Amino acid sequence: MGEEGIASDVKNTGSKTNPKLTLLPLIALIFYEVSGGPFGVEDSVSAGGGPLLSLLGFLIFPLLWSIPEALVTAELATSFPENGGYVIWISAAFGPFWGFQEGFWKWFSGVMDNALYPVLFLDYLKHSFPIFNGLAARIPALLGITFSLTYLNYRGLHIVGFSAVSLAVFSLCPFIVMSILSIPRIRPGQWLVVDFKKVNWRGYFNSMFWNLNYWDKASTLAGEVEDPSRTFPKALLGAVVLVVSSYIIPLLAGTGALRSASSEWRDGYFAEVGMLIGGFWLKWWIQAAAAMSNMGLFEAEMSSDAFQLLGMSEIGMLPAIFASRSKYGTPTISILCSATGVIFLSWMSFQEIVEFLNFLYSIGMLLEFAAFIKLRIKKPDLHRPYKVPLQTFGVIMLCLPPSLLLVLVMCLASIRTFLVSGVVIVLGFFLYPTVVHAKDRKWARFVTEQPAVPSDNILEAHPIMSQLHQEAADEASVSLIPNLSSTKAEQESELLLEEALKME
């Protein structure tokens, strides 16, 4: 059996036996990609020198950052409804080299982000179980959490999606109760407190950015979503409302009802807030919710990272082994690869991880905004089931504020972050020609989806072309599947595809 046949069988293994993601599970997955609840926002109060900057940040930053990124994601994810997400967008706009770099940066930052959640889980537990302050208990706990959650991810994306719905409900309920109980004690004047001498701008912007980014991550699962053209825009809108509400309401309750010093607001402090407002029962409930939330965060991030590698494999950017699926339809090797990265990065501190992943994520997002604008200019006739209702100048202005914010976050990074991120970037530049060389030398099997010759069933043989087939065939959809080993062969295949489409 040829590589194309093998790839087709591998790709379709899970799609026949596993249901697609629907609206509610997708909202929950996006919620967990971005937020997971107010766990982790405590640092914004201490870094902001008081409640005022934290509250203003979660009101203003969504307008400058979250909404533009969600709109861009909605348009591009519905235009290219395939696993791989932003890797495919960048490849369509700037070619396979930059698509590969985008994939490497975003995967690496995603794995770093996922390494946070076992750490946050134990940070909440150590308030009640001090044993987790010591390495003797902390290391086995981190490994146990990672292995068990990785296995759940292996069992199926639809299980992850519906688990995310249940976990979201359970994780947010104690904060609803806490907010109701806090109403008689709230003093609005406490929301206006700020001590600019205590403001840590680097920590503040990193906290804000980390708590409001990753809106594009769910795009890597687009091939697993039922009717993505309709589902994605609705899911992103619902997730924006849910995320912002889950931050603002608990912060208003906690900072308005208590006179805690800003320095006390650290990771895990919401458990103490719950105890002071409702008692020990609420503290334990919040700690349990934190544990469940971190499970959801881990599962959502792991799914996106793994399906990104699967998508890159399906378009020939990685060896075909990354596209192999288990009997549950999940990308086994890609999941194991992501889990290994999580284990190696879990030893880092919360703030170190946040700053490193923010820097890499910022570079990737700048490239995404550039691709969004270029595709609007270069391919105005690209089939866009959902289109941001702005013309070229409008989309440039839409992308300008978040781009400036990205540059600001990068400028505030430490020298260590610049050095570590620089090493990762250089590594990506070397990995691409290594992959090309491996493909040329046939050191590994690669998926080749582009047919060598035109046929009567060319649209069926090329799912992206079938999805985007119009009177004027989109050349973007042809260039999505790059042959990394030969530019000339790529151009010849594109010409053959275009000729076949004209014959339709």
Residues 295 and 353 in one domain: yes
Q: Which residue has the higher pLDDT, 365 or 473?
A: 365
Residues 219 and 121 in one domain: yes
Residues 298-322: tens digit of each pLDDT: 888 888 888 888 889 888 888 888 8
pLDDT at 347: 65
Least Cα distance to 207 among 100, 48, 363 occurs for 48
Percent helix, strand, coil in the chain, to 5, is 75, 0, 25
Judge whether residue 91 has pLDDT over 90: yes
Burial string for 86-114 (b: 16+ CB within 10 Å, else e) reads: bbbbbbbbbebbbbbbbbbbbbbbbbbbb
Domain boundary among 389, 406, 437: 437
88 occurs within a structural domain: yes
422 occurs within a structural domain: yes
Residues 495 and 356 in one domain: no
What is the 3 state secondary structure string of 158-198?
Answer: HHHHHHHHHHHHHHHHHHHHHHHHHHHHCCHHHHHCCCHHH
pLDDT at 432: 93
Residues 496 and 365 in one domain: no
> Which residue range is the domain that position 495 belongs to?
458-503
Q: pLDDT band for 149, please (50, 70, 90 cuts).
A: confident
Q: List the single range of 97-106, 329-338, 342-351, 405-414 with lowest mean pLDDT.
A: 342-351
Contact 61, 332 (CB under 8 A): no
Residues 94 and 232 in one domain: yes
450 occurs within a structural domain: no
Residues 369 and 486 in one domain: no
The alpha carbon of residue 244 and the mean position of all alpha carbons in its chain are separated, in whole angstroms, by: 17
Question: What CATH number corresponds to the domain at position 299?
Answer: 1.20.1740.10
Angle between helices 201-211 and 350-378 (to 10 degrees): 60
User: What tokens does 218 get?
Assistant: 């769910």
Q: List the single range of 38-42, 96-100, 386-390 with lowest mean pLDDT.
A: 38-42
Residues 394-421: tens digit of each pLDDT: 999 999 999 998 898 888 888 888 898 8
Give the CA distances from residue 458 to residues 454, 500, 502, in Å, rounded to whole numbers and listed in that order. 6, 7, 12
Residues 417 and 477 in one domain: no
Residues 25-70: tens digit of each pLDDT: 889 888 988 888 888 788 899 999 999 999 999 999 998 888 999 9
Instruction: Give me the helices (H) in 42-85, please.
Output: 42-47, 51-61, 67-79
In the numeric block, the tokens 């930059």 are attached to 98
Residues 205 and 348 in one domain: yes
Residues 470 and 327 in one domain: no
Q: List the single range of 50-59, 143-152, 356-365, 473-482 with lowest mean pLDDT.
A: 473-482
pLDDT at 6: 39
Return mean pLDDT, the chain.
79
449 occurs within a structural domain: no
Grouping H, G, I as helix, E, B as strand and the rest as coil, residue 490 is helix
pLDDT at 493: 47
pLDDT at 469: 34
451 occurs within a structural domain: no
For the chain, helix (H) and strand (E) counts, in that order, are 21, 0
Residues 495 and 425 in one domain: no
List the beta bridge partners of residue 225: 21
User: What tokens does 182 get?
Assistant: 């806090």
Burial string for 460-487 (b: 16+ CB within 10 Å, else e) reads: ebbbbbebbbeeebbbbbbbbbbbbbee
pTM for the predicted model, two decimal places:
0.77
102 occurs within a structural domain: yes
Residues 424 and 482 in one domain: no
d(C-alpha 258, C-alpha 261), whole Å: 9
The number of domains in the chain is 2
User: What tokens does 37 get?
Assistant: 């609840």
Residues 425 and 493 in one domain: no
pLDDT at 487: 43
